[in-house]
Amino acid sequence: MNNYYVYFDKKTGRIVSIGSEPEPRFEHAIKTSLEEVEGFLTRRLNTRDYLVGYKRDQTGVSNLAIVPATDQGYAFKNNVFEWITETDDNVECTVTWNGSTKSWDFKVDNNIKDYYDVVVAPKLVFFVTLENDFDFLIRTIFINLADLITSDVMSFPFESNIENKIDKISISSKLIFKSYGLRIIHD
C-alpha cells in the first residue's frame, strides 16, 4: 500500500497539498492511501470541496480524515454527526441538561483545551430534536469554540416548554470532539 499525505491548515481544515512523500514545509498532515486521494490526483475531485475534520469509523473511534466541506456537520451518512447520549465516562465535551436551572450547560474537559485551539471549526452547533423524530427541530444552539474553550461552563436557558422534558427530546452535534456525553440533572 502506498502512503499519501494530506497537508492541511490546522485552523480551517482546508487541504493545502497532497503528496506521496513527507513534506517538512507543512506542519499538519494525515497519512492516507492512494484510494483516498486518487480523485484529487486525477482532478476528478477538487480540494476546495473537502477539508480535514473528524470522522467516526466503523468501530466508533474518531479520527482526522478527508470529509466533504458541504457535509461537515450535517451528513449522517459520513459519520460527522454525533447523537449525544447519557454517559458516566470521561468525555471531551459534556452537555448537561439541567432541570433545576432550566438550561443546557456545555463544558470541555480541561485536559484537551490546549489541543483544540487547532480544531477545524470556529463554531459548534448543537441540535435539540424530538427523541423519536430527528427531523423535528426544537432548537439550534451555536457556540463559539474559542469561548467554550476559555470558559468553565457555558449555559443556555431553555427556550421552550418541551426542553423541560428530557425524556421527550435528544441533542446532537457536529463531530468536532472525539467524545461527547450527556449528564442529566433533575430538580
pLDDT tens, per residue, the chain with 187 residues: 589 999 988 777 889 999 999 999 998 899 999 999 999 999 999 998 888 887 777 776 777 888 887 644 433 444 467 788 888 778 999 999 999 999 999 999 988 776 665 455 678 899 999 987 778 999 999 998 888 888 999 999 999 999 999 999 999 998 788 889 999 999 7
pTM of the model: 0.61
User: In terms of residues, how long is the chain?
Assistant: 187
Give the CB-side neighbour count of residue 67, counting CA atoms within 13 A: 30
What is the DSSP secondary structure assignment for residue 43, as one 8-state letter? T
Question: Which CATH number is associated with domain 81-185?
Answer: 2.60.40
pLDDT of the residue at 187: 75
Q: Where are the domains of the chain?
A: 3-73, 81-185
Report whether 154 contacts 143 (CB < 8 A). yes
Task: State how far the Cα of 100 lies from the Cα of 174, in Å rounded to an integer.
Answer: 27
Compute CA distances 105 → 5, 11, 69, whole Å.
Answer: 38, 25, 28
- Residue 84: in which H helix or E strand, if any? strand 81-84
